[in-house]
Structure 1
Amino acid sequence: MYKNLAAAFAAACGLLLSSPDIHAQVAPPLKIGFVHVAPVTEAGWVRQHEDGRLAVQQALGDRVRTTAVDNVPEGADAERVIRELASSGHQLIFTPSFGYMEPTLKVAKDFPGVKFESITGYKTAPNVATANARYYEGRYLAGIAAGRLTKSNVTGYVAGFPIPEVLQGLNAFALGLRSVNPNAVVKVVWLNAWFDPPKEREAAMALFNQEVDVIAFHTASTAVMAAAQERGRLAIAYHSDMRRTAPDAQALAVLHLWGDYYTQRARAVLDGSWKSGQVWGGVKEGMVRVDHFGPKVPKAVRDEVLARQQDIAAGRLRPFVGPITDNEGRLVVPAGQAMSDEQILGMKFLVSGVQGKAAQ
């Protein structure tokens, strides 16, 4: 009897020891790095990318481990941080700022086994993909709202750098504005900085002193919103909902949503399907949306803007369809023609109605 029990016990132990579940190795989490160009604040460009990181962590749980390094200037510091992330075992690195493109490519050459995502960049490599959003679609919609809301017919725009992405947004805003209010104009101030709250505030105040009653911006802080709240003007929030900063001043927010894209790319690395490529998504793809209308926006204006947003999603409305004239009087897009993606990506002019120059 005891011999039989001993034999049975030995057999059971043999089965347990040979079980694949006992010897299976749990895969280590995918280490994902994020490099932020400014501090993480409650709203703005960096906030949206930080929310994207948190969305990845929530969606994929223990399968990933994410790291974020914020307030990293473009240039040598960016290369150093990206290289440190790659050297410390991060297998997927997101670099969401235009000035990170070249440092990303440089580091990627030295780490061919690491996947990189250059957000707002346009140069790819076998292990470097690019992604951007059609921010200009949201800008066009915001312009429609501004055209309906302005009483002075003078709107303002605080802009970072005169690169194509910024020119696209500024021009789309002006086209949306003048599609409903042909007499309205846009006054622009260039900062040559993405994140400089004192300069952003100063630029906004200067524009308010020039009859501007609705303002938009392409910078990374909430300073313009705070200035509009202080001066009793209206402002278009950018990147994030900024009603906490400007509860009365916010007309609407142009939102950038990165969580789904970041999660998809992390899943692709996990399942081995990641490939380099270029993504440029907008309203249709859920990467851009206008929302969070403020208390001073009439229902008719809100309904009009949301209807046009549906038109863009369905392909019925394209912001850059001619005739389009630049602000020096030259016809740049003939009537009935639409700018190609290549032409939009290389944009170098300012449309009629924008007061200023494309290069500073």
Structure 2
Amino acid sequence: MSHTIAALYKFVDLPDFESLKEPLQAFCERHHVKGTLLLAREGINGTIAGPREGIDAVLAYLRNDPRLADLEHKESWSDERDPFHRMRVRLKKEIVTMGQPNVNTNNAGTYVPPENWNDLISDPDVVLVDTRNDYEVDIGTFKGAVNPNTVTFREFPGWVQSQSAEGGLLDKKRTRKVAMFCTGGIRCEKSTAYMKSQGFDEVYHLQGGILKYLETVPPEQSLWEGECFVFDERVSVGHGLKPGPYIQCRACRHPLSEEERASPKYIRGESCPHCWDDKTEEQRERFRERQRQVDLAAARHEEHIGADMQEQIRQRRALKEARKEAARQRALQKSTQKGAEN
């Protein structure tokens, strides 16, 4: 089955965001759409996947709200298993957590379309900053980009403050142009707005994010190196948004290459080279048991993560009844045969 994947976000004032949750959750489930959508006073953000008609229905439902009428989204596709296991609509303080809820995203940096991005970042006077987390940067980034080595986006303002000091990478005495990028663009809306609030005037960001760049720019012209981490079961994508070779460690969520999966420190569902030394035996045992449950569910042709439990119970009961009925029919057939023999 082919899955259409839609990534979307919009900064817009939603004072009634809490009341939007339940109707949106029910609508997505009714149209067999899965993923995560975040609602906050400052807007909406998320990625969803499902059948073509389901995605179209959800997007139309959202855009029926006048405040979201111009909601933009980016699409990709997957012919493999479901990119998501469940549908979740969550209420948050921020649709992307930076710990700076008062940053005015209407004052974000200058958009640069993918076709003009190479020229900008090839300028030696531009400091190119990857605003994503370290585990995302590990598997791919733009040539010459600076990695702030943040574990979460909440750490980004602290990194800016430290690098803005005299002699730092962002020392205003020597840094005039800053270009930023992220997966789909939302983190750069906030990071560039934050930079401008800190006195940086020439701040730019990649319109549509890395995903739009990989979709638009031919590989032979690309300055992107590696794969782009995505927050669904594809784990990574490359040029043309084709799913990449990475899987994700179920213990620490770090993307894993084929080489890392060959390590003796990689135990499926339990550990990988990135988290091997950080796990206690109690944690290992918990992950081990979870993987055992996943394997048992797979043997029963069920989903362990995110599956509808009531549906699973219904299926198990139906299978049990079918087996009983088959046994009754076999017993009846044997009885009939014996009667005929006598």
TM-score of the superposition, structure 1-length normalised? 0.26
TM-score of the superposition, structure 2-length normalised? 0.27
Q: Which has the higher contact order (CA 8 A, sep 6+)?
A: 1
